[in-house]
Copies of this chain bind each other. A is one copy, B any other.
Amino acid sequence: MKCRVCRGPAVIDIRRHNANFCQEHFLRYCRTQVEKTLKEFSMVKPGDRVLVAVSGGKDSLAVWDILLHLGYEATGLYVGLGLGEYYDVSGRHARRFAEERGLELIEVDIRGTYDIDVPTAASVTGRAPCSACGLSKRHVFDQATLAGDFDALVTGHNLDDEAAVLFGNVLHWQSDYLGRQQPVLPAGHGFPKKVKPLVRLGERETAAYCVLAGIDYLVEECPMAKGNKHLHYKAALNLIESESPGSKQAFYFGFLRNAVDLFSEQRTYSEPEEQRERTEPDDDVGMLRACEECGATTNSELCAFCRLVRSTAGTKPVPIAMTRKRN
């Protein structure tokens, strides 16, 4: 197995590209794919200040590392979700990455800030844990990006994630979710710009990137995600991919090329913060206004997050409190 670029011994094969790479050229391949994606979808431009949502897992640390390599000023944002030991460990990975590289990491702990944690919020409101977690993270992401006046929020969603979400949305043919499934959500209506620069890299590649770039990431998946439908969608797509390498990429990029506009023309506006919530829309479509509690854009009196906080903690949410640590 030889490297496609230098013909030296390869360390990884990428079946869908029918290509093998050595360590050096694999890292370069990943960075080039991200650079191409940033440009293709006008995600960010040189000189932009970006905030990277960092969980301590392979995807978020890889995208942070790659953006730094490409010359971007990238600050990290770690959200403590009150998920017990798992999130203690994940936080350590995020902090160590930042410290070793002298990077700024903003930390928001939802227990300290809002007096809630994901398991309690989920059980009190009857939501799936992944739903309560996603809602909380998106709220903090938005608020921190706006508060810090960043040009964009970066998340580590990879090709496998996006293909699985797309598959889930397609299985139910919900036009509003389909019309919103883009690798870039533009700023507007009080929401920051959100970008997903890893959509051209599969999760096997982001893991390999971390290993080969010497990034120590949290390998375990979140224990609360067990039974999540998302994992079944991934398994089903993996079955197809193993028979026909490239299927996921064709599925996701074919959608962006041929179909997303059909659905986005159809849809009426609803909160982008619900973008990844397929089965449990938090608000009906309606007029946008400012949440009476936190000022976030919403289409009811309280935004979905403040409703979650109110039912869970019974307290009024306070404006976001952030720990900024410049290493």
Selected contact of A254 from candidates B173, B232, B240, B244, CB within 8 Å: B173
**A258-B233 Cα distance, complex, nearest whole Å:** 21
Any B CB within 8 A of the CB of A266: yes
Selected contact of A240 from candidates B232, B243, B244, B250, CB within 8 Å: B232
Query: In the complex, which residue of chain B has the Cβ closest to the Cβ of A239?
Result: B236
Any B CB within 8 A of the CB of A41: no
**A202-B175 Cα distance, complex, nearest whole Å:** 26
Judge whether A262 and B266 touch: CB under 8 Å.
yes
**Residues in A195-237 with C-beta less than 8 Å from chain B:** 229, 232-233, 235-237
Judge whether B239 and A171 touch: CB under 8 Å.
no
User: How many chain copies does the complex carry?
Assistant: 2
A–B complex contacts, Cβ < 8 Å, 23 sampled: A170-B170, A170-B251, A171-B240, A171-B250, A171-B251, A172-B250, A173-B251, A173-B254, A173-B255, A173-B258, A173-B259, A174-B258, A175-B259, A229-B243, A232-B239, A232-B240, A233-B240, A235-B239, A236-B237, A236-B240, A239-B239, A262-B262, A262-B266
Report chain B residues within 8 Å CB of A250: 171-172
**A101-B175 Cα distance, complex, nearest whole Å:** 48
The prevalent SS among residues of A at the interface is helix
Is the interface on chain A under 10, 10 to 19, 20 to 34, or 35 or more residues? 20 to 34
Report chain B residues within 8 Å CB of A174: 258
Any B CB within 8 A of the CB of A150: no
**A235-B235 Cα distance, complex, nearest whole Å:** 11
Any B CB within 8 A of the CB of A45: no
Report chain B residues within 8 Å CB of A240: 171, 232-233, 236
